[in-house]
Structure 1
Amino acid sequence: MNSVRKALATLSLIPASFAVGDTTEYPLSITNCGQEIPFSSAPKRAVTIGQSATEILYALGVGDRLEGTSVWFNPVLPEFQEINAGVERIADNDPSFEAVVNKHPDLVAAQYEWHVGPTGSVATRDQFHDLGIATYIMPADCDTKENATGGDGTRTAAFSIDSIYKGITELATIFDVKDAGKSLVTELESREQNAITEAKKLDLPDDLSAVFWFSSPDGSADPYVAGRLGAPGYMMDKLGIRNVIQSDEEWPVVGWESIARSDPDIIVVARMDRRRYAADSVETKLEFLHHDPVAREMSAVKNDRIIEMDAHAMSATMRTIFGLETLVDALSTLSFER
């Protein structure tokens, strides 16, 4: 599908009124993660809970309306360093409800429903709405996903990159910057297609397999690895790689003995600045893989087929496409002779 047709398909996911004209007509109402959210005008003050929403708003050119950010995994993208330096980071991880409200936002944009949702760790949507503060949750975390299961949730169908484009388009509509939204979607579509095209030139083995390791409570504990339907599953599907983890959970805990029996050809490890768990550190992950008596026997370890990827790219975010590029670049340097 060419970029024009794909952009039209993306716009078809949202109400037809969004796709008419270059400016937003208010009052505006958006159905977001099961709730109807009204906007009388474009937000002037916003707070983000999650790096995905933050970087999308920067990319849309409305960073000057951000009063605070929170929940960071990796450094901000280089092109946004200057604008980001002028925005307060309320918290590296979960902010308090009071800290968010004290910024007097018109809108709170969240990456994960477990931060702002029915049992939100920061607050429920109703708590914000009762104060006249609109909320927006990135569709990638609720479209084809059930978050009532606890933890990181369970996918009810495979993650689609269209949910990222939908979030970009809706935020661009909310902030009355539709043209910026269209440009960003077009750019990301182009990068996605270029990465897939480059991968086809690599002539990868038909039976290539992989596991994506996000983190672990400590260096030797069973790891949080990517289920088959999340963002890493999307990357693997696009490149014809089999995920050795077949769970529908977003990030199930799987024992190393089970992973070793599957013997993936590739291990992709998350690189992040966050330090919530001991194995957040990529150095800790690599130390474990090379010295654990079970893990070190895997083909991927023995043949040095371990790929580092930004943790944020492993989540369902705009950076997932950058992760696809990282994976293709790394695969071009690896040997798969057996």
Structure 2
Amino acid sequence: MLLHRVVTLMVTLALPALAHATPTQYPLTLQNCATPLTFEHAPKSAVTIGQAGTEMLYALGLGDRLVGTSLWFNDVPVQYQAQNDKVERLADNDPSFEAVIGKRPELVVVQLEWMVGPQGVVGTREQFHELKIPTYLMPSDCEGKDNLVGADGTRMQPFSIDTVYKSISQLAEIFDVQARGEQLNNQLKASLEKSIASLKGKDLSATSALFWFSSADMDIDPYVAGRKGIPDFMLNTLGVRNVVESDEEWPTVGWETLAKANPTFLVIARMDRRRFPADDVEKKLEFLRTDPVTRNMDAVKNNRIIVLDAHGMQASLRLFDGIETLATAISRHDLPK
């Protein structure tokens, strides 16, 4: 898969590329989600709150700088297992503020603003900055988005893949590994183009899909992907329509409404965390095939169900694997006109 190819590419290209890289000029000041951050030197230690930032740092060859991780959805890819085993997991979900600052990090990398933000469950950026601990928030979760509206925020503008490339470039600059960041972004862009090309010529004008992330309980409305978010970007990139019309990141929508929309494909999240009952992909599948409403959906009757790692539905390196998985699955089906 893509992440394995990324590691291979970086090992192959890193030495000659690094020879031509321009070093970061410190002090470095950059704008991050409307907050200026200044670094006097490359951080010697970091804590991540979110799997996306963790795997980006691993892919950039910065695993030795990590002193703590948290907020995991899926197991780490096998190529990062050895370095991940050396890093303390502070929590599977959200860590405490005390656990994070107890590692004395010189940087905290945050995937989601509801973890560290105005109403952060871990803390506010001001709390960290008062202790002179800078917080880098992924631009994908703040640019064009209002995280104070809806449980997981509402998109004011469609998610842009450029925010993922921006995170990689800025983290590479902060840690003075710019050549590695450029190599990684080039590989990701090539992967995206390959996935798009794989469906060229296939008529998807009548094709739609629904992303089901999880449910707080099996008998209540599910968390599904709204418009303008990351799964919506994945679908639009491949030429597929999202049947959900809400601009919330992960709104709850009733199954009767979803069944009426009758998507061509159901995309369901597989994850290793167990915060909610429907985090278990097998429970999702059982529900879809036995519930009197969902079992009559065309996607269920025709087995057009795509299982995707939950982390592949988020602004992360795995997003590119997720798009590849979607494209491969769609290409194998004869679609209704």
Structure-1 residue corresponding to 2:53? 53
Residues 236 and 243, structure 1, Cα contact 8 Å, conserved in 2: yes
- In 1, distance between residues paired with 2:86 and 2:325? 29
Gaps in structure 2 of 5+ consecutive residues: 1-19
Q: SS in structure 1 opposite 2:112?
A: coil
Structure-2 residue corresponding to 1:234? 233
Residues 218 and 279, structure 1, Cα contact 8 Å, conserved in 2: yes
How do 1:308-319 residues align onto structure 2 when only pairs under 5 Å count?
A: 308-319=307-318
| Stretch deviating more after TM superposition (315-324 or 56-65) | 315-324
Structure-2 residue corresponding to 1:196? 196
Structure-2 residue corresponding to 1:178? 178
Structure-2 residue corresponding to 1:92? 92
- In 1, distance between residues paired with 2:124 and 2:56? 23
- In 1, distance between residues paired with 2:61 and 2:22? 16
- 1:333 Cα deviation from its structure 2 partner: 2.2
- In 1, distance between residues paired with 2:203 and 2:283? 29
Residues 74 and 274, structure 1, Cα contact 8 Å, conserved in 2: yes
- 1:149 Cα deviation from its structure 2 partner: 1.2
- In 2, distance between residues paired with 1:67 and 1:276? 24
- Identity among equivalent positions (%) equals 55
- In 2, distance between residues paired with 1:150 and 1:37? 28
- 1:44 Cα deviation from its structure 2 partner: 0.2
Residues 218 and 278, structure 1, Cα contact 8 Å, conserved in 2: yes
Structure-2 residue corresponding to 1:284? 283
Amino acid in structure 2 at the alignment position of 1:183: Q
Residues 27 and 39, structure 2, Cα contact 8 Å, conserved in 1: yes
Structure-2 residue corresponding to 1:151? 151
Structure-2 residue corresponding to 1:119? 119
Structure-1 residue corresponding to 2:32? 32
- In 1, distance between residues paired with 2:120 and 2:264? 38
Structure-2 residue corresponding to 1:221? 220
Residues 212 and 232, structure 1, Cα contact 8 Å, conserved in 2: yes
- 1:239 Cα deviation from its structure 2 partner: 1.1
- In 2, distance between residues paired with 1:237 and 1:337? 18
Amino acid in structure 2 at the alignment position of 1:328: A
Deviations 1:107-131 (A, max 9, x none): 0000001101111100111111111
- 1:337 Cα deviation from its structure 2 partner: 4.1
Structure-2 residue corresponding to 1:4? none
Deviations 1:21-45 (A, max 9, x none): 6210000111111111111110001
Deviations 1:56-80 (A, max 9, x none): 0001111100000000000112211
Deviations 1:3-38 (A, max 9, x none): xxxxxxxxxxxxxxxxx9621000011111111111
Amino acid in structure 2 at the alignment position of 1:266: F
Q: What is the TM-score normalised by the length of structure 1?
A: 0.92
Q: SS in structure 2 opposite 1:136?
A: strand
- In 1, distance between residues paired with 2:181 and 2:79? 17
Q: CA RMSD in A?
A: 1.2
- In 2, distance between residues paired with 1:159 and 1:150? 16
Amino acid in structure 2 at the alignment position of 1:152: D
Residues 225 and 253, structure 1, Cα contact 8 Å, conserved in 2: yes
Structure-1 residue corresponding to 2:268? 269
Q: SS in structure 2 opposite 1:212?
A: strand
Structure-2 residue corresponding to 1:6? none
Amino acid in structure 2 at the alignment position of 1:45: S
Aligned residues: 318
How do 1:238-249 residues align onto structure 2 when only pairs under 5 Å count?
A: 238-249=237-248
Q: SS in structure 2 opposite 1:214?
A: strand
- In 2, distance between residues paired with 1:150 and 1:295? 26
Amino acid in structure 1 at the alignment position of 2:48: T
- In 1, distance between residues paired with 2:21 and 2:78? 32
Structure-2 residue corresponding to 1:128? 128
- 1:329 Cα deviation from its structure 2 partner: 1.2
Structure-1 residue corresponding to 2:108? 108
Q: SS in structure 2 opposite 1:83?
A: helix
Residues 230 and 316, structure 1, Cα contact 8 Å, conserved in 2: no
- In 2, distance between residues paired with 1:219 and 1:31? 42
- In 1, distance between residues paired with 2:282 and 2:244? 23
Residues 206 and 336, structure 2, Cα contact 8 Å, conserved in 1: no
Structure-1 residue corresponding to 2:3? none
